[in-house]
């Protein structure tokens, strides 16, 4: 049986990985550097000549300024000349950051969360809208986005099978650096911990309301949501 200290917090890991992975994607695409001075320098760049259609609309829909959107768009277009990222490219990006594991399954789930229109590609608008939520959204917005990631079949609930798939995907992505060392029944134990905490009425599924309530009662989760609040 696992000690409480060994099992606590895995339910927060997926939330942290969402934010961290999104930041890694931003860095990989050349949009920001992870050092503080580089981030500041990037925001001081001059305006790009080409302005994407609907920039004012994106400014109204996100928590980014017009100048930040221009910087983001220039980096996105430089690295993605076609203006879109498909799932295969998305998976290749994550493989770069998790060389000791297999990030393909988690990247698949995350790609589907970014691809809100289910077109099979992520456009700049999709990317910046999600990034706005993850970096500067309200607590409810961030948690709703994460719930949607966990709700793999999009039926409005998280069941144990879905959570098991997410946990396994996280462990596969982390590879040999998982701690504690992965045992055969480890994913199931963590799923059980998740449901003991989140499934308030013990009906075998976690609703959005239950997820929101449970997360907001957890100080670790609340702190994790603030990690990259001021990254840009």
CATH of the domain at 101: 1.10.238.10
Each residue's pLDDT tens digit in the chain (232 positions)?
444 443 444 444 455 555 555 555 555 444 444 444 443 333 333 333 334 557 888 999 999 999 999 888 887 777 677 888 899 988 887 788 788 889 999 999 999 999 988 899 988 899 899 989 988 999 999 999 999 999 999 999 999 999 999 988 988 887 765 555 556 677 888 899 899 999 999 999 999 999 999 999 988 888 877 766 655 5
Can you tell me which residue has the tokens 């990690």?
Answer: 227
How many whole angstroms separate alpha carbon 151 and alpha carbon 190?
Answer: 17
In a shared domain, residues 180 and 112: no
- Cis check for the bond before 180: say yes or no (omega within 30 of 0): yes
Q: What domain count does the chain have?
A: 2
In a shared domain, residues 143 and 214: yes
Q: How far is CA 84 from the centre of its chain?
A: 18
Residue 19 counted as domain residue: no
Q: What is the domain range of residue 158?
A: 139-231
Residue 200 counted as domain residue: yes
Among 83, 118, 137, give the residue marking a domain's end: 137
Among 137, 163, 178, give the residue marking a domain's end: 137
Helical ranges in the chain per DSSP H: 4-7, 10-28, 36-43, 55-61, 66-79, 87-97, 104-114, 124-136, 139-150, 160-174, 186-198, 208-216, 219-224
How many whole angstroms separate alpha carbon 18 and alpha carbon 25?
Answer: 10
């Amino acid at each position: 049986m696992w000690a409480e200290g060994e099992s606590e917090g895995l339910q927060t890991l997926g939330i942290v990985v969402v934010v961290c992975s999104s930041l890694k994607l931003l860095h990989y695409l050349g949009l920001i550097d992870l050092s503080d001075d580089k981030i500041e320098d990037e925001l001081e760049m001059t305006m790009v000549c080409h302005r994407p259609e609907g920039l004012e609309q994106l400014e109204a829909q996100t928590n980014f300024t017009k100048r930040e959107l221009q910087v983001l768009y220039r980096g996105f277009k430089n690295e993605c000349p076609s203006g879109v990222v498909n799932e295969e490219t998305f998976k290749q990006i994550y493989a770069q950051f998790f060389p000791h594991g297999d990030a393909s399954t988690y990247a698949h789930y995350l790609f589907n969360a970014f691809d809100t229109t289910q077109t099979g590609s992520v456009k700049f608008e999709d990317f910046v809208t999600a990034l706005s939520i993850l970096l500067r959204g309200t607590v409810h917005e961030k948690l709703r986005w994460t719930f949607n990631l966990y709700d793999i079949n999009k039926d409005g609930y998280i069941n144990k099978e879905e959570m098991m798939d997410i946990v396994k995907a996280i462990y596969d992505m982390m590879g040999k650096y998982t701690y504690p060392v992965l045992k055969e029944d480890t994913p199931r134990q963590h799923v059980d911990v998740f449901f003991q905490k989140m499934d308030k009425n013990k009906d075998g599924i976690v609703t959005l309301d239950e997820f929101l309530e449970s997360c907001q009662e957890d100080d670790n989760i609340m702190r994790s949501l603030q990690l990259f609040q001021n990254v840009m």
